[in-house]
Structure formats: structure tokens, C-alpha cells
Amino acid sequence: MRLKKGDTVRVITGKDAGKEGKILHVDRKNGRVIVEGVNMITKHKKANPMGQGGIIHQEGPIHVSNVMYVHNGKPTRLGVKVVMEERNGRQKAVRYRVAKSTGEVID
């Protein structure tokens, strides 16, 4: 999974197809992400002595295959580019995320 928290993604399938949002959480074990304002679910929270209960609307997880990274306003696939750089006098392999459509390094 090449997506990170804070990336802007577009939903490509499902009831929220076409919506864009920022990734709030990445669950690498289950291959799911939580995207801001997408896949809204309703939870009924029971009242406890310290706080108030009620109906809460929050984002639900969505599978990573149903979202695409947005680069320059267009959805694109991500790849990895490995570059050998010299750090502290030694050669080290450094990995960069790359947009497949343009070939630009993202970070």
C-alpha cells in the first residue's frame, strides 16, 4: 500500500464514487483507509456517567482498491522509484513515491 495519512484521494467505486477527501487513517493490516467525508455511517452511542450519548455520524473504512491518489487534480496510480544516494559517506538506497501518469516524485 503506497497511500499515507494526509494524502488526497478520489473514490472510484461505490456509493461515494467521485468524492475526494484527505486520508485520516490507514489500516495496513486490513488494507483499508478512512477518508474525510466519505462512507459516512451512523453510530448509536450509549450514554455513560461522564458524557452524553446519542447518534454520531462518522466516516467508515473503505478498501484501498476503491480509492486513487489525486496528483495535480487527476487520479493516478503510484509507483516506487529507488535511487542510490550518498548519505554520511555511504551509499544508501532511498525510496520515493512516484506518480505513474507524470513520473513526478511525490515525496
Mean pLDDT computed over 22-41: 96
DSSP secondary structure code for residue 16 in this structure: T
Total number of domains constituting the chain = 1
In a domain, 15, yes or no: yes
Query: What pLDDT, on the 0 to 100 scale, is given for residue 1?
Result: 84
Please report which confidence band the pLDDT of residue 50 belongs to, taking 50, 70 and 90 as the band edges: confident
- With cut-offs at 50, 70 and 90, classify the pLDDT of residue 82: very high
Q: Is residue 88 part of a domain?
A: no
Domain annotation covers residue 86: no
- Domain extent at residue 56: 8-75
**Which of 5-9, 85-89, 90-94, 98-102 is predicted least confidently?**
85-89
Position 20 scores a pLDDT of 96
Is 87 within a domain? no
pTM, whole model, 2 decimals?
0.83
Instruction: Supply the pLDDT for residue 52.
Output: 87
In a domain, 51, yes or no: yes
103 part of a folded domain: no
Tell whether 92 is covered by a domain.
no
Q: Read off the CATH number of the domain in which 21 is found.
A: 2.30.30.30
In a domain, 85, yes or no: no
Residue 15: pLDDT band with limits 50, 70, 90: very high
What burial letters (b/e) apply to 51-76, b meaning 16+ CB within 10 Å? eeeeeeeebebbebebbbbbbeeebb
